[in-house]
Amino acid sequence: MSDTFLTAEEVRELTGRTKHALQAEQLRAQGIPFFTNAVGRPIVPRTAIEGCKEKVKPPEPMWVPNVLKEK
């Protein structure tokens, strides 16, 4: 089992579909984000189902010298 993406079996269970095109159609209808790989199989990030477990820290603003800052 992948820690990053749902397995093919998990996608089949989630969508109730066996064909890749119908799985993608069902995922769109459910509003679940996914990627399509080179063979047309929908790839669902595990975080799309389970949610993000880690708090993501927003990036810190870039340093800008005072002479370039607006007054």
The total number of structural domains in the chain stands at: 1
Whether residue 2 is predicted with pLDDT greater than 70 in this model: the reply is no
pTM, full prediction: 0.69
Q: Which residue did the predictor score with more confidence, 4 or 55?
A: 4
8 in a structural domain: yes
Cβ-based neighbours of 62, under 8 Å, separated by 6 or more: none
Given this model, what pLDDT does residue 62 score?
A: 84
Averaged pLDDT for residues 19-35:
95
Domain hosting 41: range is 1-51
68 in a structural domain: no
